[in-house]
């Protein structure tokens, strides 16, 4: 455990507040992209207060915009986060219960100075956390804030910040709509599974501008996730929407995670569409809008992604895994959009940030224009055979990665994120987890038999 200033205080003659005891902070909550942990075991009110103070100091802003999703511990953490921010003399703009991209919208389009969202995205119900951005949509990674949280000065300013509430929903919905021509969307029948997350409050607002008929599943906001886990990739999360699409003869379905930054599409046959295939559908539209534009994809997307982007005249830009990395490469290499197999889709005109709703709206317009069902639209992309990402617990990541490098010297090697090795008829990636003693393995091949053979070969080395 690490230690930081606690929350009890005394008043001195000069009226400054002095902290005089210490509490423990779990170092594992500071992730590569955000802050996240189990409430209250790993992440509690005292920690939220310290994070508020540290972020206020890092943001160098006169005001921080704060929002939260529907997680049960949100109100408690929010109260202490705000107290920490205002104790540093920084004002707070409280936008209430919002999806994550509403915070991005506030900072990127409404020009709020900084933003912090209380959410644990798709994690189980006992988790919560913080996603943070500074002015001009500069990400503040969890691991970057750790030292500041642990080394806060004991004194705080005499002047406290103020809190004001703001409703940004009207402007936010208009922003989402700006990405499509809603008059081109056909009167689809769409199953939408909000998973008891924030999509349950936003989809009805969007639907008033759309010709579609939604079949709503789990629209009641409930951080206990009574219907199924918040992670759409889990098999138990997929049962309900697959059945509903078939039962209602829907044109397609969509399932969101808790804070709505991720979504997966389900075709008219009830089959989940791989996110790298969905990325390609979206990428083709953006290349039609801006020929030659850059499309960012991560290292574990199918190679059909880079092949098709190049074929369509675009620039295929490879990124490390993680939505913050996708955003970074978009900004640095003039990308117009980006995506990854976890179903984060980011857009330049959304402050280089991800948004499940923007992806959903664009997809509806595209399916309308294709005049084909989703199952037919993705058929040209189903060329290769690819594994899901496999996780292996190891205690010697560095040794195994070095062995991988030495074993496959005859292939084309890349070290952008772990080790990627490419051959004419197959490729693989082995990358270390940033937070756990895990190696993550992805393999793709030109045939199913070759895929099985190469998986066995790689796994044998990893387990050795």
Q: Do domains 172-262 and 275-381 have the same CATH topology?
A: yes
Integer CA distances (angstroms), 459 to 9, 385, 417, in order: 54, 17, 18
Q: Could you confirm whether domain 2-168 is CATH 3.40.50.720?
A: no
Q: Please name the CATH architecture into which domain 172-262 falls.
A: 3-Layer(aba) Sandwich (3.40)
Residue pLDDT, tens place only, 37-86: 999 999 999 999 999 999 999 999 999 999 999 999 999 999 999 999 99
Is pTM beyond 0.75 here?
yes
* Three-state DSSP class for residue 462: helix
With vertex at residue 30, the alpha carbon angle to CA 276 and CA 158, rounded to the nearest 5 degrees, is 130
Residue 427 CA to residue 430 CA, distance in Å, equals: 10
The reply to whether 121 belongs to the active site is yes
Integer CA distances (angstroms), 419 to 106, 320, 454, in order: 37, 11, 15
Residue pLDDT, tens place only, 246-262: 999 999 999 999 999 99
Q: Could you confirm whether domain 275-381 is CATH 3.30.200.20?
A: no
Arithmetic mean of pLDDT, 120-149: 96
Contact 39, 73 (CB under 8 A): yes
Closest CA to 76 of 52, 120, 44: 44
Instruction: Using CB atoms within 10 Å of the CB of residue 423, give its burial: 0 to 12 exposed, 13 to 18 middle, 19+ buried.
Output: middle
Residue 14: pLDDT band by 50, 70, 90 thresholds?
Answer: very low
Flag the least confident range among 6-10, 80-84, 219-223, 383-387. Answer: 6-10
Q: Which CATH class is domain 385-463?
A: alpha beta
Residue 51 CA to residue 248 CA, distance in Å, equals: 46
High-pLDDT (> 90) share of the chain, %: 92
* Three-state DSSP class for residue 378: coil
Closest CA to 347 of 293, 306, 300: 293
Out of 73, 121, 346, 355, which one is annotated catalytic?
121
Residue pLDDT, tens place only, 183-194: 999 999 999 999
Instruction: Using CB atoms within 10 Å of the CB of residue 459, give its burial: 0 to 12 exposed, 13 to 18 middle, 19+ buried.
Output: middle
* Three-state DSSP class for residue 380: helix
Return mean pLDDT, the chain. Answer: 94
Instruction: Using CB atoms within 10 Å of the CB of residue 385, give its burial: 0 to 12 exposed, 13 to 18 middle, 19+ buried.
Output: middle
Q: What are the domain boundaries of the chain?
A: 2-168, 172-262, 275-381, 385-463
Residue 5: pLDDT band by 50, 70, 90 thresholds?
Answer: low
414: phi then psi, degrees, rounded to nearest 5: -140, 140
Is the pLDDT at 6 greater than 60? The verdict is no
Is the pLDDT at 115 greater than 90? The verdict is yes
Residue pLDDT, tens place only, 402-431: 999 999 999 999 999 999 999 999 999 999
Arithmetic mean of pLDDT, 311-327: 96
> Which distant-in-sequence residues (6+ apart) come within 8 Å of 294 by Cβ?
314, 315, 317, 330, 333, 334, 335, 336
């Amino acid at each position: 455990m690490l230690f930081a200033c606690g929350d009890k205080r005394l008043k001195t003659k000069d009226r400054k507040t002095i902290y005089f005891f210490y509490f423990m902070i779990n170092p594992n909550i500071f992730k590569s992209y955000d802050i996240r942990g189990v409430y209250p075991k790993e992440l509690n009110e005292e920690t939220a207060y310290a994070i508020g103070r540290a972020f206020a100091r890092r943001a160098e802003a006169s005001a921080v915009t704060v929002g939260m999703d529907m997680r049960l511990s949100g109100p408690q953490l929010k109260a202490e986060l705000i107290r920490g921010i205002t104790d540093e003399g920084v004002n707070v703009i409280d936008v209430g219960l919002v999806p994550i991209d509403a915070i991005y919208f506030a900072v990127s389009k409404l020009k709020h100075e900084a933003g912090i969202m209380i959410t644990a995205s798709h994690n189980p119900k006992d988790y919560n956390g913080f996603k943070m951005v500074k002015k001009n949509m500069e990400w503040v990674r969890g691991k970057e804030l750790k030292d500041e949280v642990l080394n806060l000065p004991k004194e705080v300013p005499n002047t406290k910040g103020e809190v004001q509430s703001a409703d940004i929903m009207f402007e936010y919905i208009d922003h989402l709509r700006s990405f499509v021509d809603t008059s081109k969307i056909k009167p689809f029948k769409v199953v939408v599974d909000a998973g008891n997350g924030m999509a349950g409050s936003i989809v009805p607002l969007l639907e008033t501008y759309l010709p579609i008929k939604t079949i709503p599943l789990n629209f009641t906001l409930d951080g206990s996730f009574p219907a199924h886990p918040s992670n759409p990739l889990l098999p138990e999360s997929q049962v309900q929407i697959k059945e509903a699409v078939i039962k209602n003869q829907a044109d397609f379905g969509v399932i969101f995670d808790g804070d709505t930054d991720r979504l997966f599409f389900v075709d008219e046959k009830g089959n989940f569409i791989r996110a790298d295939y969905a990325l390609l559908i979206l990428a083709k539209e953006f290349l039609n809008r801006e020929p030659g534009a850059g499309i960012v994809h991560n290292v574990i997307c199918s190679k059909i992604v880079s092949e098709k982007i190049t074929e369509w005249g675009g620039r295929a830009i490879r990124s490390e895994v993680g939505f913050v990395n996708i955003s970074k490469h978009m900004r640095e290499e003039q990308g117009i959009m980006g995506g990854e197999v976890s179903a984060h889709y980011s857009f330049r005109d959304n402050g280089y940030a991800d948004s499940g709703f923007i992806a959903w709206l664009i997809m509806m317009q595209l399916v309308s224009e294709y005049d084909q069902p989703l199952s037919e639209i993705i058929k040209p992309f189903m060329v290769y055979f690819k594994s899901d990402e496999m996780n292996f617990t190891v205690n010697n990541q560095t040794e195994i990665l070095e062995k991988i490098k030495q074993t496959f010297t005859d292939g084309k090697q890349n070290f952008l994120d772990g080790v990627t090795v490419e051959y004419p008829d197959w490729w693989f990636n082995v990358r270390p987890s940033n937070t756990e003693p895990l190696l993550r393995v992805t393999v793709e091949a030109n045939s199913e038999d070759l895929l099985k053979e190469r998986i066995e070969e790689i796994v044998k080395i990893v387990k050795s």
